[in-house]
């Protein structure tokens, strides 16, 4: 199995990469903007898993470069069986709420960049008649919140995009899984830990186990499903006053 992992310097992505390499014997291509860090992660994982682990540069906003990037990955891996979209950023939400450029940067890093690269990879997987796509979405995408609606709207759009793609590819042998993550202890949530925060290793194990079972839309951890169901039920006229 040959898997491309985007946003591979994320601790969640690293732990997931280890699951794929060590448990499934997959060969991997790890990519993010920080190529030096990607290379370190790739070397370490290659030694631990005894699998081929390559690394390279990927920037979500470099739309023109995406077709060549995908071609290069496929050449390096000798094919492609799966792709994991783990890149994303909270950005500066406060700035993004009044500065369109900052808002669009957040949208690009979480949504439009994913649309571009997933569309390219999906065409390849569809043509060959097998493969999988995992997107890391967020509980923040389930409802617009005053404190993070720019990031949340990008993740919500990503969830819708993945849902539609899952439907389009349903008969083509390509499986699309949407993982809606709650709070995971990474640099993204630094200083915001709560009782609901879990480790990147636990999140990755759950994502991997649910992917193996062929799940389609999952909450990680699962306890977020009832929490978000309750949050979605709060009437908007009350919700807007909560200010969170």
Ligand X SMILES: NC(=O)c1ccc[n+]([C@@H]2O[C@H](COP(=O)([O-])OP(=O)(O)OC[C@H]3O[C@@H](n4cnc5c(N)ncnc54)[C@H](OP(=O)(O)O)[C@@H]3O)[C@@H](O)[C@H]2O)c1
Question: Which x/- pattern, by CB under 6 A, does the window 147-166 give for ligand X?
Answer: --------------------
Q: How far is the CB of 213 from ligand X (least distance, A)?
A: 20
Helix, strand and coil percent figures for the chain, each rounded to 5: 55, 15, 30
Confirm if 7 and 85 have CB atoms less than 8 A apart.
Answer: yes
Residues 6+ apart with CB under 8 A from 14: 8, 41, 45, 200, 204
- Show contacts with ligand X in window 60-79 (CB under 6 A): 60-61
- Report the residue number, 62 or 128, with the smaller CB distance to ligand X: 62
Which position has the token pair 């915001």?
A: 192
56 in contact with ligand X (CB under 6 A): no
Q: Does position 188 bind ligand X by CB under 6 A?
A: yes
- Near ligand X by CB under 6 A: residue from 3, 4, 5, 7: 7
d(CA 86, CA 179): 10
According to CB under 6 A, which residues from 190 to 219 bind ligand X? none
- When asked if residue 45 is in the footprint of ligand X (CB under 6 A), the reply is no
Closest CA to 3 of 54, 65, 59: 54
Count of residues binding ligand X (CB under 6 A)? 28
What are residue 100's DSSP bridge partners?
none
**Contact flag: residue 93 with ligand X (CB under 6 A):** no
- Report the site for ligand X in 21-40 (rule: CB under 6 A): 32-34
Instruction: Compute the distance between CA of residue 161 and CA of residue 155 in angstroms, rounded to an integer.
Output: 10
| CB-based burial label for 191 (10 Å; 0-12, 13-18, 19+) | exposed
Least separation in angstroms between CB 12 and ligand X: 4
**Strand-pair partners of 4:** 29, 83
Which of 95, 97, 128, 189 is the binder for ligand X (CB under 6 A)? Answer: 189
Instruction: List the catalytic residue out of 29, 54, 151, 219.
Output: 151
**Which residue lies nearer to ligand X by CB, 10 or 153?**
10
Smallest gap from Cβ 9 to ligand X, in A, equals: 4
CA distances from 239 to 98, 140, 143, 156, 242 (A): 22, 14, 10, 18, 5
Whichever of 128 and 221 has its CB closer to ligand X, that residue is 221
Give catalytic residue positions.
151
Summarize as ranges the residues that interact with ligand X (CB under 6 A).
Answer: 7-12, 32-34, 58-61, 86-89, 109, 113, 136, 138, 181, 183-184, 186-189
């Amino acid at each position: 199995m040959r898997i491309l992992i985007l946003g591979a310097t994320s601790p969640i992505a690293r732990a997931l990469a280890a699951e794929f390499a060590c448990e499934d014997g997959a060969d991997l291509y790890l990519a993010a903007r920080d190529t030096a860090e990607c290379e370190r992660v790739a070397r370490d994982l290659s030694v631990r898993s005894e699998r081929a682990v390559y690394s390279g540069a990927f920037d979500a906003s470099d739309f023109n470069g995406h077709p060549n990037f995908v071609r290069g990955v496929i050449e390096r891996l000798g094919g492609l069986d799966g792709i994991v979209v783990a890149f994303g950023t909270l950005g500066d939400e406060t700035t993004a709420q009044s500065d369109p450029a900052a808002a669009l940067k957040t949208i690009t890093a979480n949504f439009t960049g994913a649309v571009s690269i997933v569309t390219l990879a999906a065409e390849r997987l569809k043509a060959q008649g097998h493969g999988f796509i995992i997107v890391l979405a967020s509980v923040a995408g389930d409802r617009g919140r005053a404190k993070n609606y720019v990031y949340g709207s990008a993740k919500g759009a990503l969830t819708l995009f993945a849902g539609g793609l899952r439907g389009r590819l349903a008969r083509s042998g390509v499986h699309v899984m949407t993982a809606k993550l709650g709070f995971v202890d990474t640099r993204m949530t630094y200083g915001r830990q709560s009782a609901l925060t879990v480790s990147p290793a636990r999140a990755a194990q759950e994502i991997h186990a649910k992917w193996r079972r062929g799940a389609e839309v999952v909450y990680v951890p699962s306890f977020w499903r009832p929490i978000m169901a309750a949050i979605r039920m709060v009437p908007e006229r009350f919700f807007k006053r909560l200010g969170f």
